[in-house]
Structure 1
Amino acid sequence: MLGELPAVGDTNVVIRGKVAYVSQVSWIFNATVRQNILFGSAFDPIRYSKAIDVTALRHDLDLLPVFEKCIKEELRGKRRVLVTNQLHFLSQVDRVVLVHEGR
């Protein structure tokens, strides 16, 4: 189906409909959780919510606000250094240091 193996003998592969390839090795790309789930598709709130529910991710996503509980609450009053490329955190910090080309 993927064209990675040579056909044996006189065989044909006919695909009718849509095909999805799911690797046996899980991976994510450097983006938001939403972008990893959408994988380039347009955001449809109903379809997105269904994808989260059928993959049992709802509980995991509820656990993700570590920034709020850990960085902002538990470590309040302490000096914290957050190294990230997630720009949505910038509005919640006191100082931003940009590292560009090693400087």
Structure 2
Amino acid sequence: MKVAICGTVGSGKSSLLSCILGEMKKVSGQVKVSGTKAYVPQSPWILTGDVRENILFGSTYDAVTHHQTAKACALLKDFELFSVGDRTEIGERGINMTRNSV
């Protein structure tokens, strides 16, 4: 059986997982885990380049597929906010709103 922990920001998901893994001090109660456990943290993979290049990740650009992917990931509104849409530069520190690709 696999279990996913879901919730809003600040609801205690990471704290619960840290407690289960024994990385957080337990104030009271018991933690019982049978079987194996694994934790997969959310770590972004962002390449220096533009947003489109980060979506394609080396694949050939296809406008229809790209649009469907952006729509499925709820990125279309973000593209509207960027001055040059999905050609906006991005790097390890996130979106560069002052210097964009042309």
Judging by fraction of residues, say which structure has more strand.
Answer: 2
Q: TM-score range by the shorter chain?
A: 0.3 to 0.5
Structure number with greater Rg is 1
Q: TM-score, normalised by structure 2?
A: 0.42
Q: TM-score, normalised by structure 1?
A: 0.41
Query: Which protein, 1 or 2, shows the higher relative CO under an 8 Å CA cutoff with sep ≥ 6?
Result: 2
